[in-house]
Amino acid sequence: MRAVTVVAWYELKRNWPLFPGALLMGVLAWTAPLVPGLHQWDPETVREVAASVVAVALMAFASLILGSAILGGSVASGREGFFLARPVGAVPLWLGRMMAVLILSLAAPALVLVPLALARPGRMIALFCAPSPLALVLLLLPGAIAAAGLVRIMLKTRSVWLAALAAVVAGVYLVQLRLILRPLFRIALHADGVLRAGSFAVLPLIWSAAFLVGSAVAATRGRSDARRAASAGVGTVMVILLILTAVLTGAVYWVNAATPADITEVATLVPAPEGSWVLVAAQVRRAGVTLPVTFVLDTSSGVWWRWPGTWWQVVGNAPFSRNGRFVAWWDDRGANPGRLSAVVRVTALPKGVRGTPRTVRTVPAPTWVAPLGMALSPSGKMLATVFGGVLSVWNVRGTGRVTRIATGDGIVTWLRVSDSGDVWLGTRSGRTGAGRTMTITARHVAPTGHAWDVIWKEASVTYLSHVACDTPGRPANVVALAIAREDGQGRLVVMRFDAPGALWSAPLGTLWPVRQMIPFGATRIVVVSRRAPMAEAPLAPSVIACITREGVAWRRTIGKIGWAAVGPGPDPGTAVVIVNRHPGTRLAAPSCERLSLETGGMTPIGSNLVPAALSWLIPQLPTPGSPGTRVFVRNRRTLLRLTTSGRLVPVPIR
């Protein structure tokens, strides 16, 4: 230690003029507002900017130039013999020099900021002592110093093969970085605590460590031999950099390659309307890292595919074709504001356990932000997308775009496309809440089918909920609306997109905020509402009502403060209800029950079933009786399938 401090002290003594120089620069930065052309700016801001620029420049200068001179200079200039002739080891010699350059590189910029800090100490602390940038600087600085010294020695040797090797390794390293940055950033984004900080710091740490060790090895193995120092140092840097980055790449990919078996919590489960595929948006945990991942899972065979799209698309869009054979997703990998590189992909899902998903159509996205709406036709032949105010219809298996129409502003609340390319679009103005529908075909647009508020002309609309009444094999051009007047009286209206007037309507009595509307064909609509002024009010019972042409067929109230979510049942004529009769209390435990649509009678299926029913809030509902209606989650971990005999069995994961 004594040798280290002696070496460091003498290197500092050699370079002491840097300190008064830095202080002088700080004073000059303080006078920056006097510079002609800068006096119209806020003087404090000018001083801050000037001092920051000078401090950063000085830090770069000190670390690179002094690192080069002190760590590599004596070997490069053949003066290392003086030091090696003293009783000081190569490592303490290197450590002392490194310590000296570090002190110079940190103290000089700090001195630049002294005048500013004396004037505004709090501001300086806020600006320059933020933990993250400071930690990054402290991580990178030793590596930069070591790298500068090593480069100086390498340049001295003028070895062509060493330079060529370094260039090749740099290329490989860049490829590694290209591979690792995105998945590593994903971990950093979702990890907690130390792991989060570690994920951000690991690459600078590896880089710094590689050059630090390489520089130390150059000093100890090379000593007075510049050529040997260069080859030992550069070789060490290459090996450490490549091996550690490769190991990190492996670890990062392994963490990211979680399977449905790693699921710890299911956020959303979206079944295909028909067929056995489901989208599972879940949290997975590997090596202490919790990540949001979405899988496309075949609940009958257990085959799964990792959904490459962004997980939140699952909720906002209806990605499956009705037959469950195709899925559309917005691929934002590589998307950035400068390059419109995002695309919408249509992927064909494999049949059975063999085969892999394959992209059958790639549609360019006109913007790097996600589409407002996206729909596949029942057979997956047509794709409709809404980006901004523009609706496009694409023939997935044919020539490409068949329709492109400006739809105007508005939130897309409903989008369906038929196999012939006809589109039913519902939008609602974000400003007024008024909605309108459109029927769009390849030949013409039926502009504004029917505004919501003209369907029921008795009063202005105060509340609106809607759902499409799909029938098997056909996309919905029928929509059910629950509308409330200012006096609280509600009415259910079932209408066609492409024809004026209502198909049928029925009074609902007092209409509380609607939580769900579930159509069972176009003739029977189940409405779940909360008997409270706000839908999410905690202390109110839920009411399930079945509405037909004749009016309310039956109505059930769930507990005093109960909560319920309804979805299509495992067989026609039934629904499945997840109920919690005591939410927020000790007795809270959701249970799954079968609901008879004829009578409203409920019979238990199982308890502790987490509402996969959340997915029933999305516009595209599974067809009653399809396998997708029978998948549930128990204890937020295990996916369960309801068999025809009424038993719950785990979904296999292959």
Partner 1 sequence: MDNPVEDVIVVEGLVHSFSRERVLDGVSFTVKRGSVFAVLGRNGAGKTTLVQCLLGQLEPRAGTLTVLGRAPWRERAKLMQEVGVVPEAPDAPPAWRVRDALAFCARLSSCWDWNEASARLKRFGIPVMRRVSELSRGQKAQLQLCLALSARPRLLVLDDPVLGLDAVARRELYEELIRDLADRGTTVLLTSHDLDGVERLADEVAIISGGAIVARGTVEELKNEWFGRLGNYPGLEEIFVRVVRNGGVA
Smallest distance from partner 1 to CB 88, Å? 5
**531 vs 533: CA distance, rounded Å:** 7
The Cα–Cα gap between 173 and 246 comes to: 9
Strand pairing report for 514-520 and 524-530: antiparallel
Contacts 24+ apart (CB under 8 A), 200-205: 200/132, 201/135, 201/136, 201/139, 202/248, 203/177, 203/245, 203/248, 204/136, 204/139, 204/140, 204/143, 205/139
By the rule CB under 8 A, 3 interacts with partner 1: yes
Among positions 82-101, residues that touch partner 1 (CB under 8 A) are 82, 84-90, 92
C-beta closer to partner 1: residue 89 or 601 = 89
Q: How many residues sit in the footprint of partner 1 (CB under 8 A)?
A: 26
Binding mask 219-258 for partner 1 (x = CB under 8 A): --x-xxx-xx------------------------------
Structure token pair of residue 400: 């490409």
**Given the complex with partner 1, which of 223 and 582 has the nearer CB atom?**
223
User: 3-class SS at 211?
Assistant: helix
- Of 92 and 433, CB closest to partner 1: 92
Closest Cα to residue 557, out of 602, 499, 505, 588? Answer: 602
Which lies closer to partner 1 via its Cβ, residue 225 or residue 498? 225
Q: Is 6 in the site for partner 1 (CB under 8 A)?
A: yes
Q: At closest approach, how far in Å is the CB of 11 from partner 1?
A: 9
Residue 580 has phi, psi (to 5 degrees) of: -135, 110
Per DSSP (E only), the strands in 115-193 are none
CB of 10 or CB of 554, closer to partner 1: 10
1, 13, 129, 432: which one binds partner 1 (CB under 8 A): 13
Least Cβ distance, residue 157 to partner 1 (angstroms): 11
| Residue 308 backbone dihedrals phi, psi, to 5 degrees | -80, -15
CB of 92 to partner 1, least distance (A): 8
Tell whether residue 160 is a contact of partner 1 (CB under 8 A): no
The bridge status of strand 631-634 relative to strand 502-510 is unpaired
Minimal CA–CA distance to 648: which of 597, 596, 612, 602?
Answer: 612
Q: Cβ–Cβ contacts within 10 Å for residue 318, how many?
A: 23
Q: Which span (75-83, 350-358, 407-415, 562-570) binds partner 1, by CB under 8 A?
A: 75-83
Q: Of 48 and 80, which has the nearer Cβ to partner 1?
A: 80
Binding segment for partner 1 (CB under 8 A), chosen from 8-16, 347-355, 375-383, 501-509, is 8-16
* Closest to partner 1 by CB, 93 or 346: 93
- Residue 39 as a binder of partner 1 (CB under 8 A): the answer is no
DSSP-based helix, strand, coil % in the chain, nearest 5: 35, 30, 30
Could you tell me the smallest distance in angstroms from the CB atom of residue 226 to partner 1?
A: 11
**Candidates 216-224, 274-282, 433-441, 616-624; binding stretch for partner 1 (CB under 8 A):** 216-224
Q: Which of 18, 30, 76, 80 binds partner 1 (CB under 8 A)?
A: 80
Torsion of CA 540, 546, 549, 551, to 10 degrees: -50
Is 79 one of the binding residues for partner 1 (CB under 8 A)? yes
State the residues that interact with partner 1 by CB under 8 A: 2-3, 6, 10, 13-14, 74, 78-82, 84-90, 92, 221, 223-225, 227-228
